[in-house]
Amino acid sequence: MLDQASFFLMFVALLGIPAAGLVAILFNLELPRLIYGQATPIGLAIEIVSVTALIALVLLLRTCLALPSAPRGFYRAVLDFLAVGHWHAAAKFSLAGLLVLPMVWYLYVDRWMFSMFESLGRRALAMSDVQSALDGAAVAYQHALVGGLPLLFIMHLLCRWKSGNRFLPWLLVPLFFVGTVVATIISVTIVHFSR
């Protein structure tokens, strides 16, 4: 039965995973606001539902791609990207960097905040500077993911296209990070000047 419905389910995942991911990225400010007690119930509910839907759709897509009727070719490469399956090690390394580097940057730039917690404890969460710094971490992830995920998709497709080449995927890694920085700067600039 799942084999018969797999084409429809994969199409739902093809549309649903990017949509749920975009909503999760746009509403990720609710998580730091939850830490200092100013999250909006509707925004937090949207964030939780979008993350839950994203995880469920990825698991559903992985199940469908394991079936004998799973597609081949370019469509399969796109679905593998969304399912985070059959990625080249260079693409996995790039994804890990995309998730870790904004946090490293945040911890370096806002390291003063930890001394505030050491001296004030949870009372530091009432300070507007600490709240802004927590929001800044979420915004850093927003811009990094918006700039980096499309480049990661292109990298994944290039790795699949040149699957026999052992060096090209690793040569793409520094280009990916440089491109992500450029895309993040452009994204921040657009948001800044649109206000």
Average pLDDT of the segment spanning 151-178: 91
Average pLDDT of the segment spanning 143-165: 91
**What is the per-residue pLDDT across 104-146, written as a single tens digit (0 to 9) for each?**
888 888 888 878 888 888 788 888 888 888 888 888 888 899 9
Position 163 pLDDT exceeds 80: no
Domain residue extents for the chain: 1-70, 87-195
Residues in CB range of 166: below 8 A, 6 or more apart: none
Judge contact between 13 and 82, C-beta under 8 A: yes
d(CA 58, CA 12): 11
pTM for the predicted model, two decimal places: 0.85
Q: What is the pLDDT confidence band of residue 1, given thresholds at 50, 70 and 90?
A: low
Q: What is the pLDDT confidence band of residue 78, given thresholds at 50, 70 and 90?
A: very high
d(CA 82, CA 149): 11
Q: What is the pLDDT confidence band of residue 52, given thresholds at 50, 70 and 90?
A: very high
Q: What value, to the nearest 5°, has the Cα angle with vertex 21 and ends 190 and 176?
A: 60
- Looking at residue 6, its pLDDT comes to 86
Which amino acid makes up residue 145?
A: L
Which amino acid makes up residue 66?
A: A
Q: What is the pLDDT confidence band of residue 2, given thresholds at 50, 70 and 90?
A: low
DSSP state of 163: T
Q: What value, to the nearest 5°, has the Cα angle with vertex 132 and ends 178 and 136?
A: 15
Backbone region of residue 37 per phi and psi (left: phi > 0; alpha: psi in -120 to 50; beta: other values): left
Average pLDDT of the segment spanning 90-103: 93
- Looking at residue 188, its pLDDT comes to 85
